[in-house]
């Protein structure tokens, strides 16, 4: 287990992504994955109010409802660290104080809980003054409805501005950043975001740690993958991408583990990362991503060069 910097949140080294719950995984499948994750000591689940609004017939909050139902049935809320988000649901857009406060209440209801451990601004909203945004978060924290706040999908200048504003005005501050980061998508995180995190002693909890499934190894030359996420990996289906897969193959064999575990191990090796996020539609997929592998410096450097 690890402690997320600047918090007392003690979490598993793999954060389970809830974006597939209610989308490519129905309620029964989702709860099976959650049970399997919990059986391995997993306790950190990431979701959002917008998950999975994009599926026909869904209205958003679908993932939160499944997670809330599962925690209620298992009676394990106190053992689970729950992260959710505000600002991207079509019916609750933006970061106005009124929207944050209302969206939080709705998320609490769907999650069947009275507090959220980590509440993200899912995307920036430059139309709202920072004083209003952080004033709303301060209210939620004071009420005990939110423990910590974090930022996702912010530009580096806006992240720096938000962190400085909180410090200068003695307001709650973002304690983590959730951005895309993986072996085949290293920028702009490494050059732009990581230095800001180092300056403020906070960490990244990156999404797409497996590049939408590309880094699981199932995408190979000449192979067609039947997946709702397949269209999202086309940018990686090239010589460089396949070279990364070949390198992962070799290291995975040396560790007697999965390609997914090695790809996530590389993400964890970045000192600015606390724990990567990865999702699983089935228990078999969960078993591929759950091993926590410590790579040698030589292995990390080798993957750095190839990627």
63-76: per-residue pLDDT in tens? 999 999 999 999 99
Query: Per the structure, how many domains does the chain have?
Result: 1
Task: Tell me: pLDDT of 22 over 70.
Answer: yes
Question: Residues 209, 263: contact at Cβ < 8 Å?
Answer: yes
Query: By C-alpha distance, which of 303, 289, 283, 291 is closest to 209?
Result: 289
Task: Tell me: pLDDT of 224 over 70.
Answer: no
285 has which bridge partners?
none
For residue 229, the model assigns a pLDDT of 63
Confidence of residue 303 (pLDDT cuts 50, 70, 90): very high
Residue 156: CATH number of its domain: 3.20.20.100
Judge whether 306 lies within some domain: no
Q: Which of 37, 51, 207, 236 is catalytic?
A: 51
Structure confidence by residue, pLDDT tens digits, 173-213: 999 999 999 999 999 999 999 999 999 999 999 999 999 99
3-state secondary structure of 80: coil
For residue 233, the model assigns a pLDDT of 81
Judge whether 52 lies within some domain: yes
For residue 225, the model assigns a pLDDT of 67
Task: Report which DSSP code applies to 139.
Answer: H
Mean pLDDT of 267-292: 97
Mean pLDDT of 81-98: 98
For residue 219, the model assigns a pLDDT of 79
**Biggest CA-to-CA distance, the chain:** 56
Question: Rounded to whole angstroms, how far apart are CA atoms 149 and 40?
Answer: 27
* Domain extent for 55: 2-298
**Percent of the chain whose predicted confidence (pLDDT) is above 90:** 93
Mean pLDDT of 219-230: 69
Look up the pTM and report it. Answer: 0.95
Question: Rounded to whole angstroms, how far apart are CA atoms 55 and 77?
Answer: 27
295 C-beta neighbours (distance < 10 Å), count: 19
State the chain's mean pLDDT as an integer. Answer: 96
Judge whether 191 lies within some domain: yes
Judge whether 71 lies within some domain: yes
Task: Tell me: pLDDT of 265 over 70.
Answer: yes
For residue 230, the model assigns a pLDDT of 63
3-state secondary structure of 247: helix
Question: Rounded to whole angstroms, how far apart are CA atoms 178 and 196?
Answer: 13
Region of residue 211 (left: phi > 0; alpha: psi -120 to 50; beta: else):
left
Better-predicted residue by pLDDT, 224 or 50: 50
Judge whether 40 lies within some domain: yes
Judge whether 303 lies within some domain: no
- Give all strands (DSSP E) within the chain, no chain letters: 2-3, 10-11, 15-17, 44-46, 81-86, 88-89, 92-93, 116-121, 146-152, 174-178, 203-204, 277-279
Q: Which residues contact 144 (CB under 8 A, 6 or more apart)?
A: 114, 115
3-state secondary structure of 203: strand
Judge whether 104 lies within some domain: yes
Task: Tell me: pLDDT of 55 over 70.
Answer: yes
Judge whether 178 lies within some domain: yes
Question: Rounded to whole angstroms, how far apart are CA atoms 9 and 207?
Answer: 18
In the residue annotation, 236 being an active-site residue is answered as: no
Task: Report which DSSP code applies to 147.
Answer: E
Structure confidence by residue, pLDDT tens digits, 123-137: 999 999 999 999 999
């Amino acid at each position: 287990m690890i402690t997320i910097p600047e918090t007392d949140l003690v979490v598993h080294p793999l954060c389970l992504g809830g974006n597939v719950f209610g989308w490519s995984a129905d309620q029964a499948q989702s709860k099976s994955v959650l049970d399997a994750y919990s059986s391995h000591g997993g306790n950190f689940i990431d979701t959002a109010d917008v998950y999975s609004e994009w599926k026909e017939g869904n209205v958003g909050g679908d993932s939160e409802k499944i997670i809330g139902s599962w925690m209620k049935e298992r009676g394990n809320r106190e053992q689970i660290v729950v992260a959710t988000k505000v600002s991207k649901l079509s019916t609750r857009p933006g970061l106005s104080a009124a929207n944050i406060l209302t969206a939080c209440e709705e998320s609490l209801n769907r999650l069947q809980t009275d507090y959220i451990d980590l509440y993200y601004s899912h995307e920036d909203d430059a139309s709202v003054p920072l004083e209003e945004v952080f004033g709303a978060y301060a209210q939620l924290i004071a009420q005990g409805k939110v423990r910590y706040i974090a930022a996702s999908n912010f530009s580096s200048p806006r992240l720096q501005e938000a962190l400085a504003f909180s410090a200068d005005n003695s307001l709650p501050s973002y304690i983590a950043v959730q951005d895309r980061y993986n072996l085949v998508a290293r920028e702009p995180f490494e050059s732009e975001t990581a230095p800001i995190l180092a300056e403020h002693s906070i960490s990244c909890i990156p999404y797409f740690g497996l590049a939408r499934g590309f880094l699981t190894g199932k995408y190979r030359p000449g192979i067609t993958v039947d997946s709702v996420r397949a269209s999202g990996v086309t940018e990686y289906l090239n010589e460089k991408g396949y070279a990364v897969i070949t390198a992962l193959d070799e290291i995975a064999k040396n560790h007697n583990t999965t390609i997914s575990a090695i790809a996530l191990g590389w993400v964890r090796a970045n000192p600015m990362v606390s724990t990567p996020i990865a999702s699983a539609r089935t228990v078999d997929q969960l078993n591929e991503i759950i091993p926590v592998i410590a790579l040698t410096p030589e292995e990390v450097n080798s993957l750095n060069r190839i990627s």
